[in-house]
A and B are shown apart, each in its own frame.
Chain A
Amino acid sequence: MSRPQTQRVLTTVVGMAALLTLPAKGADKMKVVTTTTDLAAIARFVGGDKAEVMSVATGREDPHHIAAKPSYMMAVRKADLWIRTGMELEIGYESLILDGCRNPKIRIGTPGHLDSSIGVLRLEVPTQKIDRSMGDIHPLGNPHYMLDPLNGRIVAKTIGKKLCKLAPGDAAYFNQQVKAFQRQLDERMFGREAVAKLGGGKLWALLLKGRLDGALQASGAPPLAGWLATMRPHAGKKLLTYHRNWSYFVHRFGLVVPTELESKPGIPPSPGRLTEVIQRAKADQIKVLLMATYFTRKAPDLVASQAGMTVVECAMFPGAQPEAKDYFTLFDNIVNRLSEAFGK
C-alpha cells in the first residue's frame, strides 16, 4: 500500500477502536435530581450503580432558599426523576426551577416527580386557620421530617418504589438496596445485636408503642447500642433551639424543647425576645442551645453567654459539616455533638 493509503487505513482503525472503547454513555443509569442533600444521600444508596444522583442544595444553605446556578438548571433539564422534600419546604423555588428548565418528564403530577413526604410521620400539623402573621408556618406540618430516622427509613422505601416503577427491569435490585439501607439504619439506631435478635421492623414497632424495654428483657436482653443507646441517658433533658427545625429529632429521642430563639418561625429574634429567652433558660436551667449551621451565631452566642449555655452547631443536612457525609453519619454527628454537650 502507498503511504497515504496506509495512513487512511490506520486512522480509520484507530478511530473505530476509539469509538468502541468509549464508555456506554450511562444510557441505563437513571438521572435523579433531588432538592436537599439528605434525599440525595438516600437516593444514592437505593439507586446504587443504576442511578446518577445530584441535589440542587449543597446542604450548607437554608433549605427554604437556593442560590441559582447554571449547572443544576442543566441537570434538571435532563433528569428522569425529581424528588422533593415536600410539605412546602421548597415552595420558594421549586416552580421557578421546574418551569425554567422546561423538562416535561418531571412536572408536578407526572411519574417523574416524587414528593417524599408521602407516608411519613408528620408533626405540628396545624389544626386551625393559619396566616402569615404567625410567621412561616407550613400548612401541612413541620417539613423538617428527615431528622427522624424512622422517616428516612420510610423515604427509602418510597424512593425504591418509585425507582421500581420507572425502571421495572431493575426492581429486584432496588428492593434489595432498600432492604440494605433499612438494615443499616436499624443497626445504627438500635445496635447490631438487637436487630439480629428481634429484627428492625419489630424494634421500631416496639419503640413506637413504648414496649421496647419489656420486649428486650423478655427475649434475653441483647444490649441496645447505636443512637438510641447513646441518647437514652439524656431523655427528658431540656435544650433550646434557634429555629423550630429540630422537632422530629427531639421527638424521636425524647428530648424537650421549651422554646426557640425566634419568636415566630422564620423571623429573627428581636432584643426583647432575646431577653425573654435568656430569662427562661436561666429559670429552667437549660444548658444546651442547638442550632443549624446556616444561621448566624450572633444571637445564639449572646444568649448562651448570658445564660451559661453551650452552643451546639449541628449539620441539618449531609454536606453542612465534614462529619455529616450521608444520612447515617448525619445522625452520628448530631448524636455525638449533643451527647457531648449534655455530658458536660
Chain B
Amino acid sequence: MTGLCESLPVLVVPFAACIVIASLHCYMGLHVIRRGVIFVDLALAQSAALGAAVALLVAPLIWPETLAPHSHGLTNLAAPTESQLADQLALEEEAPDAQTHAASGHTEHDAHGEGHHDEHGRFGYAMSLLFALLGAVLLSVGRFRDERVPHEAIIGIIFVVCAALSVLILSKAPHGHEKMEAMLIGSILFVNWSQVGMMGLLYLGLGVLHIAVRKRLTEITKDVAAADKAGIRVRYWDCLFYASFALMVTQSVGVAGVFVVFSFLIIPAACALLFTERFGSQLVFAWVVAVVGTVAGLLLSAVGDMPTGSSLVSCFGAMLVVCVVIRILLGKKKMGAT
C-alpha cells in the first residue's frame, strides 16, 4: 500500500483530466449510441491524428529547424578529440586527479530549434482541428436521405482511409511509428494543469451550446426520418453536432489518446442504456460509471505500475462486463418474481 500512497500525488492531475473528459464525453456518447454512429468517434479522432501527422511533415518546411551545431561555445570543451583524450589518459597513472577535461557537470543547452517548438505545437493543434472539422463536414454531408449507403459505412471508410494516410505520411517522418502509437495510447500521465484548464473551458462552452440546442438534437437522435419529414434541416444540425464533436475529440485525443477517448465516450453510455430509459438518469448513471472506471483504472495503473491509458481502457471494459452481469441477474430476479 505504500506504493499506492506515494503514487497519489502523481495521479491527481490525470484524475482531474479524466473527470473533465468524462463530463462531456458521456453526454455525447449517449447521442452517438442512440444514433447508431459509434465509430464517428474513431473517424474524427483519426482525422485529427491525420492532421497532426500532416503538420509534423509540413511544419519544418514552414519554420525550418536549422540547427547550427557549433553555435554554442561549450562544444569544444565538451567534446575532446581522440588525441586529446589519449594525452589525458597517458597521464592517468602519474597524476590521477590532475585531469582538466570539462566534467564540471554543466549541462549544455539543447541545440534543438528552441525558437520553433511553440509554433510547431500550435500548428499541429490547428491542423488536427482543421482535419477533424473537415471530417465532421464529410460525415454530415455523407448522410444519404434514403440510407442507400449506410451512414456507418461512410464513417468506417473515413476512419480507415485517414488511418492509412497517417501511416503513409508518418512513414516519411523520423520515429513516425512511435508517434502513431503515442496518438493511440496517449500520455495522460504527463498531462498538466494548464491542459486540463483549457479542456475544461472548451467543454464548458460546448456544454452551454448543447444545452441551448438540446431539443433539436434529441429529436434528430430519436428518429431521423421523422425529423426529416417534420422539415428540420437534418444536415445542418448534424453538421453542428459533428463539428462540436470534432472540437471535443481533438482536445481529448491530444491528451489521452484515441483508445481512452473512445472508452470514455462509449462505455459509460452503454452501461447507462442497460438500466434506464430517461435521458437525464442515463447521463447521471454514465457519469457515475465513468468516475468509478477512472478511479479503478488509475488505481490499477498505480498498484500494478502499468501504463495509465491502457489501464483505464481495461477497467472501463471491466465496468461494462460488471454492468451486463448485474443486468442479467436483475432480469432473472424480475422473471422469478412474476
Contact = CB atoms under 8 A, between A and B. Distances in A.
Interface of A: 62, 64-65, 67-71, 73-74, 77, 86, 88, 91-92, 96-97, 99-101, 108-109, 111, 113-115, 117-122, 125-127, 129-133, 135-136, 139-141, 150, 154, 157-158, 161-162, 165, 179, 199-202, 204-205, 208-209, 264-268, 270
B178 A62 contact: yes
A250 B71 CA distance: 29
Given A68-B189, A73-B10, A132-B173, A118 B307 contact: no
3 cross-chain pairs, A with B, having the tightest CB-CB distances, nearest first: A201-B92, A266-B174, A136-B174
14 contacts: A62-B175, A71-B7, A71-B305, A74-B7, A99-B192, A101-B10, A108-B107, A115-B108, A125-B69, A133-B60, A135-B174, A157-B99, A162-B105, A201-B91
Contacts of A267: 171-174, 176
A135 B302 CA distance: 36
Interface in B132-191: 171-178, 182, 185, 187, 189-190
Contacts of A179: 96
B101 interface: yes
Q: Give the interface SS of chain B, mostly helix, strand, loop or mixed.
A: loop
Interface in B57-109: 60, 64-69, 75, 78-83, 85-87, 89-93, 96, 99, 101-108
B306 interface: yes
A68 B83 contact: no
B86 A132 contact: no
B64 A96 contact: no
B177 A268 contact: yes
B11 interface: yes
B308 to A, nearest CB: 7
A249 to B, nearest CB: 16
Given A88-B110, A204-B86, A267-B174, A119 B187 contact: no
Interface residues of B, number: 61
A205 B90 CA distance: 5
B156 to A, nearest CB: 27
B10 A119 contact: no
B325 interface: no
A208 B82 contact: yes
A74, A135, A199 pick with most chain B CB within 10 angstroms: A74
Contacts of B233: none
A269 B140 CA distance: 39
Nearest to A111: B105
B3 interface: yes
B301 interface: yes
A129 B66 contact: yes
Given A117-B78, A131-B65, A209-B86, A71 B107 contact: no
A204 B86 CA distance: 7
Query: Which of B92, B172, B174, B177 lies at the interface centre, i.e. has the most chain A CB atoms within 10 A of its CB?
Result: B174
Given A68-B308, A125-B79, A139 B111 contact: yes
Name which of B75, B87, B103, B190 has the most chain A CB atoms within 10 A of its CB.
B103
Contact of B107 (A67, A114, A129, A209): A114
A92 B181 CA distance: 14
Contacts of A127: 69
A113 B306 CA distance: 26
B10 A265 contact: no
Interface in B4-28: 6-7, 9-11
B69 A68 contact: no
A131 to B, nearest CB: 6
B112 interface: yes
B89 A70 contact: no
A135 B85 CA distance: 31
A174 B11 CA distance: 36
Interface string B198-222: 0000000000000000000000000
B187 A201 contact: no
A92 B185 CA distance: 16
B67 A129 contact: yes
A70 B105 contact: no
A91 B189 contact: no
Contacts of B302: 70
Interface string B23-62: 0000000000000000000000000000000000000100
